[in-house]
Amino acid sequence: MCTSLSYMTEKNYFGRNFDYEISYNERVIITPRNYEFKFREIDDIKSHYAIIGIAAGIDEYPLYYDACNEKGLAIAGLNFPENAVYNEIKEDMVNIAQFELIPYILGCAGSIDEACNLLDEINLANINFSDKLPVSQLHWMLSDSSGKSIVVESLEDGLKIYDNPAGVLTNNPPFDKQLFYLNNFRSLSSKNPKNTFSKEFDLEEYSRGMGAIGLPGDLSSSSRFAKVAFTRANSLSDSDENSSVGQFFHILGSVEQQKGCTFIADPDLYEYTIYSSCYNTDEGILYYKTYNNAQITAVNLNNEDLDSNNLINYPLINEEQINLIN
């Protein structure tokens, strides 16, 4: 399970917590403009926008979990079990496999509006990546440099595109129900509340933060959605790069998962936050932290040869980097 986030200061920042029980040797992969994307049902694309993102450690294909292109459009795929529905091939549609959606959208679209134009013609086809990697049930959050965000879900009754005013996405239920869930917390505030319980009781304000009493703190997807939506909406940050990036990770940190707290299966299999990512979508810079390395690491898309035709790989730094000062 995961949490994605869009956050605007002077620039737009986008990223996610990747929560899972198994690592697939994730790495930063830069796809230059002339790397040939091969697709199962449509023509290959030989030239496209350059892309930076975090992907599974599979050499032959950039199997992106989240990514951003040189135009500032970013996307993340999140687990969506029991709800995602993929279709048989449709002759009158652009048939895209689930794992091809991120490369196709980021390779061809430079904004949310352009992405929506592509999505209007897409049929998400039920095609496995391989025998060992069957199709994953996902939905997606997209954001561009304007700060606009949408959610894309392939459901039994068709492909849905939702505006996302919260700038947040988690897993289940479908996004419209996630957004409706926020109605339960409309009384919450960053300020301490007045006593409206009863005039008969002189109730004390015994602590700071009492305006957020009732905000969920568990690790379920609905609770994480409410927690991050509240934190994001009330978050304050200076607009410089370091402050914006630092605050972005603090917001994601409000729902990060620690090993041992979300049991999956024996023996000792637990979901945890494998990595957290943050993209400066304006500048094409990817920042990340991993579970075993709290130091922020950065990779700049524009420091590479973007006219190459070869993938560029940077393994995630997973060893703790501690600054010893004496």
Q: Which of 74, 53, 95 is nearest to 11 (CA)?
A: 74
Per-residue model confidence (pLDDT) at position 98:
94
Residue 266 has pLDDT above 80, yes or no: no
pLDDT in tens, 13-58: 999 999 999 999 999 999 999 999 999 999 999 999 999 999 998 8
Element (H, E) at 3: strand 2-8
pLDDT score, position 183: 96
pLDDT interval class at 211 (50, 70, 90): confident
Find where tokens 């620690």 sit.
258
Distance (Å) of CA 197 to CA 114, 154, 183, 202, 248: 50, 44, 20, 10, 35
**Tell me, what DSSP letter sits at residue 147?**
-
3-class SS of residue 291: coil
Q: Name the pTM for this structure.
A: 0.95
At residue 199, the pLDDT reads 86
User: How confident is the model over 126-136, as a mean pLDDT?
Assistant: 89
Q: Which CATH class is domain 2-173+239-315?
A: alpha beta
Model confidence pLDDT, tens digit, residues 272-284: 999 999 999 999 9
Report the length, in residues, of the chain.
Answer: 326
Sequence-separated (6 or more) residues with CB below 8 Å from residue 286: 28, 52, 53, 54, 68, 277, 278, 279, 298, 299, 300, 301
So which residues are the catalytic ones? Answer: 2
Round to whole Å and give the CA distance between 264 and 262: 6
Q: What is the pLDDT of residue 1?
A: 76
Task: Output DSSP code: residue 210.
Answer: G
Mean pLDDT to the nearest integer, 190-215: 87
**133 pLDDT more than 90:** no
Three-state DSSP string of 29-54: EEECCCCCECCCCCCCECCCCCEEEE
pLDDT score at 40: 94
Name every residue whose Cβ is closer than 8 Å to that of residue 1 and which is 6 or more positions away in sequence: 19, 20, 78, 79, 170, 171, 219, 221, 224, 257, 262, 271
